[in-house]
Amino acid sequence: MPSSSPLGGQFASLWRLRRYVRPYRAKMTVMLFVALGSTLIGVGVPLLTSSIINGPLASGDRAALWLLGCYALLFGLAEAVLILTRRLTLASSVLGIERDLRDDLYEHLQRLDVGFHDSWQSGQLVSRMTSDISAIRRFFGFALIFLVVNAVTFLSVGILLIVIDPLLGGIVVLFGIPLSLIVFRYEKVYRRNIRAVQDQQGEVATDIEESALGIRAIKSFGRRDLFFARYDAKAVTLRTLQLRQIRTLAQIWALIIAQPQTVLALITLFGAAAVAAGRLSLGTLVAFVALYQMLVWPIESSGWLLAASQEANTAAERIFEVLDVEPAIREPELTRQPRGAGRLVFENVGFAYPGSDAPLLTGIDIALEPGETVAIVGPTGCGKTTLTALVPRLYDVTEGRILIDGVDVRELPLAELRSRVACAFEDPTLFSASVRENLVLGRPEADEAQVEEALRVAQASFAADLPWGLDTRVGEQGMSLSGGQRQRLALARAVLGRPSMLVLDDPLSALDIHTEGLVEQALRSVLADTTGLVVAHRPSTVLLADRVVVLGPAEGGGTTVVAQGTHHGLLETEAVYRDLLSQGSDLAELAEEAVR
């Protein structure tokens, strides 16, 4: 939970980032003191100027003038060295903070369950990983330092101005109060504007990403204008929000810039009168004006610093919206190690998606013996794919339990569970990497012989004929390959290393009949020694199984097991199974052949 912030609720999210600053606090402290040092040196220059005017210039003492000139040169050199030191220190510390925060966010996204990623737009996550973290880097690298430096400058110079001349110093302080009140009033409006812009940037990023990934579908259906119109509407909204943000900032800046010029005019007027009356020396007035000029930049920059602080705070809010999400799938506190050859049991399993009151699966009881292959058959949308996703804990059961060799999968370390259970899904995911890197994703220790064996089983020998063989990069989402090629590589990845359990969700749907037959023939040798759970949408896939489980509607709602047995036995006794097989012409032929 967020800790209380000494800055109040407005900057509470920025305060929570302090743990990322701690490893760099030494460098940040050095950077702060260097910045303060350069500011204090700047304060000394006007005082030195006053001494020159009131001393050597007034008396004509050229020797003293040269000495004071050397002091001024030394002040300038010292300020330059301090600024260089600050910038070098800034680079290493602030970039380190940015890296650590981005690493934490990325690692947390990897820990979060599939249900979280189902409910979040990827563009929103990308926006948080990029633009929001960059806003925080800019705050720590510039805004935070100068907020502190400007505060010290205001305090030290303000006191010095009052000491030099109480009347002129009082004018400076008096005109600063209403400016502060106005700025804080606009700050609340600007904060809402920034949040709206950042959220809309995430919406636009989502549209861009979806259009890039779905470009083939967009072109094939001739819907370029439709998708551009949808994107353009969001882009126009973003532009409108950005213009509103700019208008608010412009109003703040107009007031902030007008204030110091007004005060400077009053100082000049009253100061000149004081010099004419002999109450103030010319050198003192020049020093006073020069010192006040040191406040002009902090005053004018306060608008930008306020904007950067609010932008960073809303960025931190958006990042903590993700970091505060607790993974629904967690490592067990007490772990157990299974002993056995791979017995898989669904024991009264039920499942409902988060936020849904209606169960998708209910009362699922299935037992797979070691080395047995079971096909899951059922109508479209009944939850077959979801059932397979429960085994590697992509989702957790909401009722009952799943056992591997007598141990609840929720009591197994996730790494151990997912090393024992290999998966291949109907819609394969390949990464923008080489063929080899995609193949050994789940078995990085696999040797060349194992890789070649997996390619043989999946009938994916085409990989060797690619321009650079297995070192060929397949592009984002593997789009440089055909659908069948992607499926075969995903299947090869699943069977690599001969896992003890293999979960297949119709992994052959994109293959032609000839290739499918070759793959199935090779798969039989793999499944002979592996516990297999296969979602069957095609007739030939059913024949890979030793036993078939039929899913159908349960009396109280959801899906349950309505029949199970051998393929031929179910054809003879279960009408629901025959109906499922007869829904397609190829399935009907299979049913007829089986009956004959």
Over the chain, what is the mean pLDDT?
81
Length of the chain: 596
Q: What are phi and psi of 141, to 5 degrees?
A: -80, -20
Lowest mean pLDDT among 262-276, 503-517, 520-534: 503-517
Residue 9 is predicted with a pLDDT of 53
Q: Is residue 132 part of a domain?
A: yes
Distance between CA atoms of residues 184 and 436, nearest Å: 58
- pLDDT higher than threshold 90 for residue 423: no
Residue with the larger pLDDT of the pair 566 and 303: 566
The answer on 361 and 481 residing in a single domain is: yes
Residue 61 is predicted with a pLDDT of 55
Residue with the larger pLDDT of the pair 122 and 595: 122
Q: What is the CATH number of the domain that holds 384?
A: 3.40.50.300
Q: What is the dihedral of CA 336, 337, 343, 344, to 10 degrees?
A: 50
Q: Is residue 10 part of a domain?
A: no
- pLDDT higher than threshold 60 for residue 446: yes
User: Helix 513-527 to helix 483-495 angle, to the nearest 10 degrees?
Assistant: 10
The whole domain housing 532 covers 344-595
Confidence of residue 372 (pLDDT cuts 50, 70, 90): very high
Distances (CA, A) of 258 to 158, 174, 226, 253, 324: 19, 15, 48, 8, 43
Please report, as a single letter, which amino acid is at residue 109.
L
Mean pLDDT of the region 122-143: 87
The answer on 266 and 182 residing in a single domain is: yes
The answer on 267 and 129 residing in a single domain is: yes
Lowest mean pLDDT among 60-74, 398-412, 449-463: 60-74
Q: Is residue 447 part of a domain?
A: yes
Residue 5 is predicted with a pLDDT of 43
The answer on 257 and 204 residing in a single domain is: yes
346-369 pLDDT, tens digit per residue, is 999 999 988 788 899 999 999 999
The answer on 380 and 266 residing in a single domain is: no
86-90, 139-143, 218-222 — most confident range: 139-143
Residue 56 is predicted with a pLDDT of 57
Question: What is the percent of the chain where pLDDT is above 70?
Answer: 87
Residue 51 is predicted with a pLDDT of 61
- pLDDT higher than threshold 80 for residue 374: yes
Residue with the larger pLDDT of the pair 586 and 412: 412
Lowest mean pLDDT among 127-141, 280-294, 524-538: 280-294
- pLDDT higher than threshold 90 for residue 100: yes
215-264 pLDDT, tens digit per residue, is 767 777 778 888 888 889 999 999 999 898 888 878 877 777 777 778 88
- pLDDT higher than threshold 90 for residue 536: no
Q: What is the dihedral of CA 461, 467, 469, 472, to 10 degrees?
A: -110
Q: Is residue 331 part of a domain?
A: no
Residue 325 is predicted with a pLDDT of 92
The answer on 396 and 265 residing in a single domain is: no
- pLDDT higher than threshold 90 for residue 28: no
- pLDDT higher than threshold 60 for residue 594: no
Q: Is residue 4 part of a domain?
A: no
Confidence of residue 54 (pLDDT cuts 50, 70, 90): low
The answer on 406 and 288 residing in a single domain is: no
Q: Which structure tokens are listed for 491?
A: 């299947």
- pLDDT higher than threshold 70 for residue 42: no
Please report, as a single letter, which amino acid is at residue 349.
V
The answer on 221 and 357 residing in a single domain is: no
Residue with the larger pLDDT of the pair 40 and 206: 206
The answer on 293 and 350 residing in a single domain is: no
Lowest mean pLDDT among 54-58, 301-305, 529-533: 54-58
Give strand pairing partners of 347.
401
Q: Is residue 137 part of a domain?
A: yes
Q: Is residue 509 part of a domain?
A: yes
Of the candidates 506, 501, 528, which has an alpha carbon nearest to the alpha carbon of residue 378? 506
Domain boundary among 255, 289, 323: 323
Confidence of residue 105 (pLDDT cuts 50, 70, 90): very high
Task: State the total domains in the chain.
Answer: 2
Specify the residue for token string 């793999």. Answer: 526
The answer on 437 and 402 residing in a single domain is: yes
The answer on 493 and 367 residing in a single domain is: yes
Residue 510 is predicted with a pLDDT of 62
Lowest mean pLDDT among 70-84, 187-201, 250-264, 536-550: 70-84
Confidence of residue 320 (pLDDT cuts 50, 70, 90): very high
Residue 212's CB is within 10 A of a number of other CB atoms, namely 11
Edge-to-edge strands, sheet with 531-535: 407-408, 399-404, 344-351, 361-368, 559-565, 547-553, 373-377, 531-535, 501-505, 421-424
164-178, 273-287, 337-351 — most confident range: 337-351
Lowest mean pLDDT among 66-70, 417-421, 436-440, 571-575: 66-70
Specify the residue for token string 């890197």. Answer: 437
Q: What is the CATH number of the domain that holds 48?
A: 1.20.1560.10
Residue with the larger pLDDT of the pair 353 and 55: 353
7-16, 89-98, 276-285, 558-567 — most confident range: 558-567
Find out whether 488 and 460 touch, Cβ atoms under 8 Å.
Answer: yes
Find out whether 430 and 446 touch, Cβ atoms under 8 Å.
Answer: no
Distance between CA atoms of residues 596 and 594, nearest Å: 6
258-267, 384-393, 427-436 — most confident range: 384-393
Residue 8 is predicted with a pLDDT of 45
Q: Is residue 335 part of a domain?
A: no
Distance between CA atoms of residues 72 and 44, nearest Å: 9
Confidence of residue 53 (pLDDT cuts 50, 70, 90): low
Confidence of residue 585 (pLDDT cuts 50, 70, 90): very low
- pLDDT higher than threshold 70 for residue 331: yes
- pLDDT higher than threshold 90 for residue 11: no
- pLDDT higher than threshold 80 for residue 401: yes
The answer on 101 and 35 residing in a single domain is: yes
Confidence of residue 66 (pLDDT cuts 50, 70, 90): low
Residue with the larger pLDDT of the pair 474 and 587: 474
User: Helix 282-323 to helix 166-213 angle, to the nearest 10 degrees?
Assistant: 30
Question: What is the percent of the chain where pLDDT is above 90?
Answer: 18
Chain mean position to CA 521: 43
